[in-house]
Structures are given as structure tokens and as C-alpha cells.
Amino acid sequence: QVQLVQSGAEVKKPGASVKVSCKTSGYTFTGFQVHWVRRAPGQGLEWMGWINPRSGGTNFAQKFRGRVTMTDDTSTSTAYMELNRLISGDTAVYYCARHRHDYGFAFDVWGQGTMVTVSS
């Protein structure tokens, strides 16, 4: 059974950083890119970027370049997303998801979400 299990909720102050983990199981970690998506209160889903666990390559939405880092640990099949210089507008639920090439790059499995609250 394919599963993506994320780390717990975080509360951070403006200007700080947050690192969210996504532990995968039930499939070959290096065979699928892992994406990060967020949903702020009252807003729609927002794609942030992806990491390719096979190569370590990454690609980010323009909005997050320079402020986000995505890494992985193939020994534990875990992906990480770190967002720096947090502002109140970064308050959101952050999700990791896997895409399937044979599904037209749709996201077929998602983590349960991690609530990140940015507040002074």
C-alpha cells in the first residue's frame, strides 16, 4: 500500500524557517518525483515544486525560487521541504504528493498534510 506520511504541525515566527518531512512507503522511492503543494486558508491549491529522488534534481515555481529547498534521503525514502524567511502569508497546510508519468503527471497519492502557522 502506497503511503506518504508527513511530519506534525509547526508554529513559527516571521523570518524563521520550517522543514517538513514526507516519509514514503509501499513503492520504489527513486521511481517517482515528489511534489510539494500548499493550501492557505481561503485559497486554492498552490504547486511549489518537485524533487527527483533518483537524481536529486529539483524544479520550483517561480514564486518560491530562492526561498525553498527540497531534499531527500534515499536510505529512509523520505523527502523534505524547507521554506525560509517565513511570512504570515506562508500560513497554510503543506502537502507532499507523488506524480505518475503514466497518469499524465497527475498526483495519484498525497500525504495527509502538515499545518504550518506563522505568527508573532
Partner 1 sequence: SYVLTQPPSLSVAPGQTARITCGGINSGTKTVHWYQQKPGQAPVLVIYYETARPSGIPERFSGSTSGNTATLTINRVEAGDEADYSCQEWLDGGDLWVFGRGTKLTVL
The residues binding partner 1 (CB under 8 A) are: 35, 37, 39, 43-47, 59, 61-62, 95, 97, 103-108, 110-113
Q: With contact defined as beta carbons under 8 Å apart, do 87 and 67 qualify? A: no
Q: Which is nearer to partner 1, 42 or 75 (CB)?
A: 42
Residue whose C-alpha is closest to residue 12's, from 116, 95, 89: 116
Smallest distance from the beta carbon of 69 to partner 1, in angstroms? 18
Query: Between 74 and 112, whose beta carbon lies closer to partner 1?
Result: 112
Helix (H, G, I), strand (E, B) or coil at 29: helix
In angstroms, give the least distance from the CB of 4 to partner 1.
9
Name the residue among 11, 38, 17 with its Cα closest to residue 85: 17
Pairing of strands 114-118, 10-12: parallel
Rank residues 15 and 26 by Cβ distance to partner 1 and give the closer one: 26
Amino acid found at 51: I
CB of 120 to partner 1, least distance (A): 26
